[in-house]
Each structure stands twice: as structure tokens, then as C-alpha cells.
Amino acid sequence: MFTGIITDIGEVTAVVAGGQTGDQRFTIATRFDMDDVNLGASIACSGCCLTVTTKGKANGRGWFTVDVSGESLSKTTLGTWAAGRRINLERSLKFGDELGGHLVYGHVDGVARIASITPEGGSQRYVFNAPPALQAFIASKGSVAIDGVSLTVNEVDGARFGVNIIPHTQRETTFGAARAGDPVNLEVDMLARYVARQLEGRSS
């Protein structure tokens, strides 16, 4: 489990195909102290909860590998990742950690797309197009995780929704290099899922 507060921007340094299974292995460089990360630990990689399979240090920088199934590659943006790709990283919560964002599970619900980016005061207004199947779970003033970043929804118009991203978040995440048209991993708030399920039960 995660909070959606990014603690490092990592870089994909290698992608190795897994043969006929369609799986892939990613090697990711990070500023994390890998001596403090156990094999089998979970790290959110641009919103996807992945398991550390090997780790080490090279040129004064830590690195780790993750294995990704063909199913995950087809349902997230990971299928487009190549060497040089910068990604948002967050280590999993420990008991007693501060919950700075909202509860993020690292289970990507679908791929959204950036529709527009416009300046608004001291921040940037990002508008996203969500997959139609997920629009019922996105509410004004509710929470979403975009590429692993916990964000508050400002307004919703059908499958389109907007958020404001402050300069700090632009600097500390991959949003600083994002462009209109980019695909992003979207995880809706689990509480919204439970509410929608309860409403479905009452109407049936």
C-alpha cells in the first residue's frame, strides 16, 4: 500500500523481453538506498505496484529489477516503456508512516490520456480523458492517483476531469516533462469503488 507521495524519479535503464510469455524485465536506476530495500519488497513504479527481484549499486547509484506480466503490460503504460524513460517511484508504507496523500494500492485501473495543460495562477491545470468504464468512480473533490501521484479532482465533465498541479509536484514528479496527448496510469479511489458498489446493490 502507498500514499501517492513520490519520493524519487527513477530511470529505466534496460528492458529485457521474457520470451513467449510476453513478460518483460525492467532495470530501474534510483536514488533509494538499496541496502535498505529487501528482495521481494514492493515499489510503486509510476503507479504500478511491482516486486523487487534483484538489486544492486552501480556508479554510485542504486538499481533494481522488476518482472512485469503480459497482462500488466497490456493494461498500463508499462508496455511503452523503454530505456531512458523517467518514472515516479514510491516505496510501500510502513506502520507509523505519515499518510500524506490518500491510500493508493498500486493496482492500475486503466490508462487515461492528458487532454490539455494550461497555466492557472501559480499552478498548471491538467485535464485528463479517463476510460469511459472508470468515469463513474471519479468525483469532484475526490482523489485519484495519476502515474502514482495522489491528486485531488477539481471538476468532472463526463469522462473528462481536471486537476491542478503545483510547482513542487511538477519538480518532484514526471509531470514536469508531461505533454498533452501522453498516456498515464490511472487508479481511482478505492472508497469511490465501494460507494458505487453499494449504490449498485441498492438499485438491483
Q: pLDDT, tens digit, for every residue of 139-163?
A: 899 999 999 999 999 999 999 999 9
Between 95 and 71, residue with greater pLDDT: 71
* Distances from the Cα of 199 to the Cα of 83, 110, 192, 195, 203, angstroms: 44, 22, 11, 6, 6
Per-residue pLDDT tens for 180-203?
A: 999 999 999 877 665 665 555 565
Tens-place pLDDT, residues 90-115: 999 776 666 666 788 999 999 999 99
Please name the helix (run of DSSP H) or strand (run of DSSP E) that holds residue 30, with its range, or none.
strand 24-30
pTM of the model: 0.90
Domain boundaries along the sequence of the chain: 8-91, 110-203
Q: What are phi and psi of 74, to 5 degrees?
A: -80, -20
CATH topology of domain 8-91: Elongation Factor Tu (Ef-tu); domain 3 (2.40.30)
**How far is Cα 120 from Cα 196, in angstroms, rounded to an integer?**
32
pLDDT-based confidence at residue 50 (cuts at 50, 70, 90):
very high
Confidence class for position 60, pLDDT limits 50, 70, 90: confident
Q: Could you give the CA distance from residue 126 to residue 184 in angstroms, rounded to a whole number?
A: 12
CATH code of the region 110-203: 2.40.30.20
The pLDDT value given to residue 178 = 97
In this model, does residue 176 exceed pLDDT 90?
yes
